[in-house]
Amino acid sequence: MKIAIAQLNPTIGDICGNSNLILEAAKKAQIEGANLLLTPELSLLGYPPRDLLMNPIFIAIAAAQLLQLAQVLPPELAVIVGTAMPNADAVKLGEKLLFNSAVLLQNGAVQQVFHKRLLPTYDVFDEDRYFEPGQNSNYFTIGELKIGVTICEDLWNNEEFWGKRSYAGDPISDLTKLGVDLVVNLSASPYSVGKRGVRSAMLHHSVIRSGIPIVYANQVGGNDDIIFDGSSFAVNRQGNLIRVLASFETDFAVLEYDENKQDLIGGGNGEDLSSTTELSSATDLSSTTDLSFEPPFGDAEIWAALVLGVRDYVRKCGFSKVVLGLSGGIDSALVAAIASCAIGPENVLGVLMPSPYSSDHSVNDALELAKNLGIAIEMLPIGDLMKTYDRTLGDLFLNTPFGIAEENIQSRIRGNLLMAISNKFGHLLLSTGNKSEMSVGYCTLYGDMNGGLAVISDVPKTRVYSLCRWLNSAESVGAVSPCPPLEKEIIPVNIIDKAPSAELKPGQVDQDSLPAYDVLDDILQRSIEHHESVQQIIAAGHDEAVVKRVVKLVRQSEFKRRQAAPGLKISDRAFGTGWRMPIAKSSSFETHH
C-alpha cells in the first residue's frame, strides 16, 4: 500500500484555497499510485484558526466545502482532511461546540470522522476554548490493514519519554491494544529551536515501545507569529527514520507499506529524493538509523525559520514589498538580510535616518550592507525634525535635563517616517528589535518597535551575533539563496565587531545601561524560560544587583510588549500569543527571600 504525505502551507480561513491545495495533492497522489493521502491538522482551515472557529458561518462553509471536496477528489483514493466538525451533542451534554477532526473522504463522501483526543492548552495553544476532546480510539481499515488515526498532541503523551504524564489518556497505548498495523498523524506542530530532533526522538521511542510504525504529516508555513517547519517524517517498525520531508517549505512524498513485511519501507516510489540544499529538501534516510535532522540549535535552522516566517507573513497579508530602518547596527542588518532572502532584495527598502548623534561609521556600515544585499535605500536625516520637536516642546520642557524623553523622540521620529513610507507606498514595515531588548524594555514604544512584524523579537542578542557570523561564513552558501553576492561577507564585519549602541545621545553604547549581552542573555533565559528565582540565578554565579535589576526591568517592560508587533516565535517561551502576563501587578515575590 502506498501512502502519500501532503506537507501543505494553508492560509488561515482560506477554505476554498486550502481545499484546492488538498485537491492538487490528491491528483498527484493518484498519479503516483497512492492508496491513502495524509494532510496536516485542520488542513481545510489552516492552523490555528483561533476565534474564526466561533463564527458559525465559517463552520458552515467549511462543512459545505468538505462535501464538495469529497465529490471532486479521485474516488478510489482515501484522503484524510483536517477540519472542525460540529459536536451534535454539545448543548445536551454541556460540551464544546466543535471537534478538531480528521475526516476520511473516499468515493465521493465522508466515510469516517475521527476526533483529536488530547487538546493542548499551554503556550500558544487554546484548544479547550473551541474543542471537545474525542473519547474514542480512532482507526480505519484499507483492505486488511488497520490504520490508527491521531492528531498532533495525541502523540505527545509519551510518559516514558518525558518522564511524566501530561494527559490522563495515551492514544498510542490504546491503539496498540487495538492491534493497529500503522499509526498516521495529522499535525500542526510549531517550530522551535531543536524541535525537529525532539519530535523524531519521541516518535522513535513511541515506535520502539509500541512496535507500530508511524507516518507524521506536519503543516508548513508561517501563520502570524507561529512558524510551522513541516519536516514531516516516517518511522518504521524498527524505529528507523525512513523518510524526512523538507523543512520550511511545502513538500510531497509517497511511502510504501509492505503488507508482507508488515512495515513501512523506504524510498521505492521513483521520486528523486536527493537534496538540493542540505537544509530543506526531502531526504532519503532509509539506509540509516540516524534520528537527528541536523545538529540541533543551529543557526541554519533558525535562519530558514525566520525567512519562511517573513515570506509567509508578507504574502498572506497581501504585501509584496517591505521597508525597514537601517541604523548601521547588527539587528537591522540581520533583518534586512532575512527579508532579502525571503522576498528578494528588489522588494526591500532600507531607510537610513541619521541624527547628529549618529556616528559616521553607522551610515557607511548601513550603505555597505545595502550594497552587499542589493537592496534600495533612502536617506532621511532627522536633525531638523529633532530641532522642531525641541522648539515645540521648549517651553514645557524648560530647565529639564536631556533624558529618556528626548532619546525616545528620536526613535519616534524614525518610526513616524517609516510608517509614512509604509502608508504612502504600501510597504510592510518590519521592526528590528531582538529578544534581549524586548525583555528588558530597551526599545521605544511607537518608535523602533513600530512595524507589522517583529522579525527577530524572539532572537536573543547573542544569537543575532551568531546568525550574522554564520551568514558570513562558507556554511551558509546555498542556504541564503537568493541573496547575492555569496562570494563575500554579507554583513559588514564592522557591524559585527563594533560595540552595540542605540546612538540616541553622544557616545552612548548599550553596555552603559545593560550588562554584557552574554551575561544578560543567560540571566534572561534562566528567568524567563526556566522560571529560576533571583536566588537561583545568583547561585549560578551572577551578580546579585545585576540579576535583581534585570528581573525588575523585565517586569516593568510588560506594557511595551503588550503593544508589540507579532514576533516570529523560535523558542518555547516567546513573548506574544503564548505569553500571558498581567501588566498592572505587584511582583514583590520576585525578590522574596
Annotated active-site residue 317? The verdict is no
| Long-range contact set of residues 370-374: C-beta below 8 Å, sequence gap at least 24 | 370/326, 370/336, 372/485, 372/488, 372/489, 372/490, 372/491, 372/492, 373/336, 373/337, 373/340, 373/345, 373/348, 373/483, 373/490, 374/340, 374/345, 374/346, 374/483, 374/484
Q: Which is nearer to a copy of itself, 367 or 393 (CB)?
A: 393
Q: Which is nearer to a copy of itself, 257 or 313 (CB)?
A: 313
Q: Which is nearer to a copy of itself, 184 or 342 (CB)?
A: 342
- Nearest distance from C-beta of residue 530 to a copy of itself, angstroms: 10
Instruction: Tell which residue, 330, 335, 369, has the closest CA to residue 492.
Output: 369
- Nearest distance from C-beta of residue 126 to a copy of itself, angstroms: 7
Q: Which is nearer to a copy of itself, 243 or 435 (CB)?
A: 435
Residue ranges in 179-241 assigned as alpha helix (H): 195-210
d(CA 281, CA 244): 8
Residues contacting residue 79 through CB under 8 Å, at least 6 positions apart:
22, 26, 29, 36, 37, 39, 73, 104, 105, 106
Give me 5's grid cell. 504525505
- Nearest distance from C-beta of residue 348 to a copy of itself, angstroms: 16
d(CA 76, CA 79): 9
- Nearest distance from C-beta of residue 566 to a copy of itself, angstroms: 6
From the candidates 116, 316, 435, 461, give the one annotated as an active-site residue. Answer: 116
Q: How many helices (H) and strands (E) does the chain have?
A: 18, 21
- Nearest distance from C-beta of residue 111 to a copy of itself, angstroms: 25
Residues contacting residue 385 through CB under 8 Å, at least 6 positions apart:
413
Instruction: Tell which residue, 308, 431, 326, has the closest CA to residue 375.
Output: 326
- Nearest distance from C-beta of residue 169 to a copy of itself, angstroms: 8
Cα Rg for the chain, rounded, in angstroms?
A: 26
Q: Is 259 helix (H, G, I), strand (E, B) or coil?
A: coil
Q: Is 373 helix (H, G, I), strand (E, B) or coil?
A: helix
- Nearest distance from C-beta of residue 265 to a copy of itself, angstroms: 35
Give me 63's grid cell. 462543512
Element housing 7 (H / E)? strand 2-7
User: If you ran DSSP here, which 8-state letter would residue 527 be given?
Assistant: I
- Nearest distance from C-beta of residue 447 to a copy of itself, angstroms: 8
d(CA 182, CA 176): 9
Evaluate whether 219 touches 72 at the Cβ level (below 8 Å).
no
Q: Dihedral sign for Cα 572, 21, 201, 78, please.
A: positive
Q: Which is nearer to a copy of itself, 161 or 167 (CB)?
A: 167
Output the CA angle 302-333-300, nearest 5 degrees. 20
Residue 183's DSSP bridge partners are 148, 214
Q: Which is nearer to a copy of itself, 133 or 213 (CB)?
A: 133
Residue 98's DSSP bridge partners are 86, 131
Tally of residues, the chain: 593
Give me 554's grid cell. 523585565
Q: Is 321 helix (H, G, I), strand (E, B) or coil?
A: coil
- Nearest distance from C-beta of residue 247 to a copy of itself, angstroms: 20
Q: Which is nearer to a copy of itself, 133 or 266 (CB)?
A: 133
Q: Which is nearer to a copy of itself, 166 or 269 (CB)?
A: 166
d(CA 206, CA 200): 10
Give me 220's grid cell. 508548513
d(CA 240, CA 263): 11
Annotated active-site residue 41? The verdict is yes
Q: Which is nearer to a copy of itself, 142 or 553 (CB)?
A: 553
From the candidates 96, 132, 152, 461, give the one annotated as an active-site residue. Answer: 152
Our measurement of the distance from residue 153's CA atom to the centroid of its chain's CA atoms, rounded to an integer in Å, reads 17
- Nearest distance from C-beta of residue 46 to a copy of itself, angstroms: 8
Annotated active-site residue 127? The verdict is no
DSSP 3-state percent helix, strand, coil across the chain (nearest 5): 40, 20, 45
Q: Which is nearer to a copy of itself, 90 or 145 (CB)?
A: 90
d(CA 130, CA 203): 27
The letter for the amino acid at 174 is D
Would you name the residues annotated as active-site residues? 41, 116, 152
